[in-house]
Chain A
Amino acid sequence: MLMVAGFFLASCAATKTDQGGDVDAASASASSSSGGEITAGTQEDLIVNVGDRVFFEFDSSELTVDAQATLDAQAAWLMQYPDTNITVEGHADERGTREYNLALGDKRAFSVYSYLAQAGIDTNRMEYVSWGKERPEVIGSDETAYSQNRRGVTLVSN
């Protein structure tokens, strides 16, 4: 058990730097609304100006402080576009069994879903689904890819 804990801690440490970098980038673009040809209230708008995803630590479905900040911004954005419905996808990296990762992906998706619900978004506007490790964002068998794949993604569904 002690050795397992050590393994987890090592993974988390490696993850945090990756995650920090990504979320910072996301919030930076959120504050500098670039406008341009992007249609407001669309998936592209969400990606560019808010950040469509949050990242999780290894084997965890808890929302990090950075993830919560991204979701606060998503909630505000969803308030701004009340006709927008979303599906939250939960994903896992490839270092677990298919079935365990389906379960983990569902918990991750639900973490995002329930955070947005608590932030005031009507649950009738939201669905969630787990893709386990079946739909990686980044192909690759290393921690760089894994940290990008342990994610919850908000998709505009209408």
Chain B
Amino acid sequence: MIKKILIILFFSFNANAALEVTIAQGKVEPTPIAITQIFGADSDTARYGNTLRQIISNNLTNSGLFYTVNEDLYIQSDNLVEKVPRFEDWKLIKAQFLLSADVSKIDKGIRLRMRLYDVFNAKEIEKLQLTIPDENLIRRVGHTVSDIVYERITGETGYFDTRIVYVSEIGPLDQRVKRLAIMDQDGHIDSHQFLTDGKNMVLTPRFAPNKQLITYMEYKNNLPRVYIYNLKTGEREIVGDFPGMTFAPRFSPDSQSVVMSFSDPNNAANSEIYLMDLNTRSRSRLTNDSGIDTSPSFSPDGEKIVFNSDRGGSPQLFIMDKNGDNIKRISKGRGVYGNPVWSPRGDLIAFTKLTQGNFHIGVMDLNGNNERVIVRDFALESPAWSPNGRYLIFHRQKRSNLDGTGGEVTIHFIDITGYNERIIPTPRDGSDPAWSPLL
């Protein structure tokens, strides 16, 4: 989308192997980066510059991999887009990287020029120019520049130019009004938008990996069914014609199918996993067991599906082939497992686990080994991966009380190392977050 709108001119220097920030377990010391004022010649462009600087600085800081060196310390105050920085000045204040940019008005919109420097090696590592056709795209440009800086320095794919769809919640806990809502990954209020009006309860939205679609469950006319919401047109369409509840939907990696649960009234309303081809409208049943089978999630190569089943007596995690063959249990620990989600890198399963009165969100290898708890609390649910597989978002709910107080539910972000947890702000309560692919 934006990649088509923006004319991005790269002058990549392909500097000898980008400086890599290790993703090994454990706490990462954030890398200090200085971001100069983003210069603009008039009041409009100066304002765009301030907004951009704030977005970029927040994004990089929130990643946990960077911190922005305090502006008050900067010795050199020039625009460094057309001028070689005095690297000694930046070294002195311990900035390891330096970003400078300016904004100007041109015939067809706004032009942003940006340069990224490696201070310690005294060299430019990135230089680019963007043409922004519409000032409404400023936030996305900020995210795009953040992604470029993040990628150039860490060697990992960025995740800032992405969105989060979630369920906005308000009202008493026994009559919650739940609406679909969408926002930028930073939760900025200017990006926030409701997608449904709250008349019908909605649950568990998930993005299509490569289309502007969201699949979710809605109680329309009190019939709980899986739907698809088209972000371009705002249209909603039911997925298939099923005589019972359909729920727990997720797209296949090619976005051509939806895998979900169906409780068939002709099968004692026991939930089985079905695959629904969105083009041919044909459906295939993947599981066949007297236990509950739900929460399916595809591997990124589309070959396997991880899911939740109580076929062994208590809810555990299983992996099967995409056609339902070769079912193997993978969860090994003690407790009740749920919500398995395959990582976009393909090597980990995120999950929830209920044990000893607490929920845990963790990750495990594909064979169930190396289970690691990332966060533990009274009520945690709905882990969702960042598109680069480094972070999880999830929701956390407080205990509720007989008098109706408590029960607040909020969306959180955490590095899979277990560090750098923070709240993603939402105007009301929020649950069931899901992350879009990189736009």
Contacts and interface: CB of A to CB of B under 8 A. Distances in A.
11 contacts: A98-B381, A98-B382, A99-B308, A103-B247, A103-B294, A106-B244, A106-B269, A130-B224, A139-B407, A141-B399, A141-B407
A94 B409 CA distance: 13
Interface of B: 172-176, 178, 201, 203-204, 217, 222-224, 244-245, 247-248, 261, 263, 265, 268-271, 292, 294-295, 308, 310, 312-315, 334-336, 338-339, 352, 354-355, 378-379, 381-382, 399-404, 406-407, 432
Contact of A103 (B204, B263, B382): B263
The 3 closest A-B pairs by CB, nearest first: A110-B269, A97-B338, A141-B399
Interface in A1-59: 1, 3-5, 7-8, 59
A99 B400 contact: no
A97 B295 contact: yes
Contact of B174 (A96, A130, A137): A137
Given A103-B263, A107-B269, A139 B315 contact: no
Contacts of B217: 102
A145 B402 contact: yes
A104 B122 CA distance: 62
A128 B204 CA distance: 21
Contacts, number: 124
A140 B400 contact: yes
B292 A100 contact: yes
B314 A106 contact: no
A14 B354 CA distance: 18
A139 B294 contact: no
Given A4-B336, A99-B308, A107-B269, A129 B401 contact: no
Interface in A83-133: 87, 94-100, 102-104, 106-107, 109-110, 114, 128-130
A59 B295 contact: no
Interface string A51-78: 0000000010000000000000000000
A141 B400 contact: yes
> Chain B CB within 10 Å — which of A95, A99, A129, A139 has the most?
A99
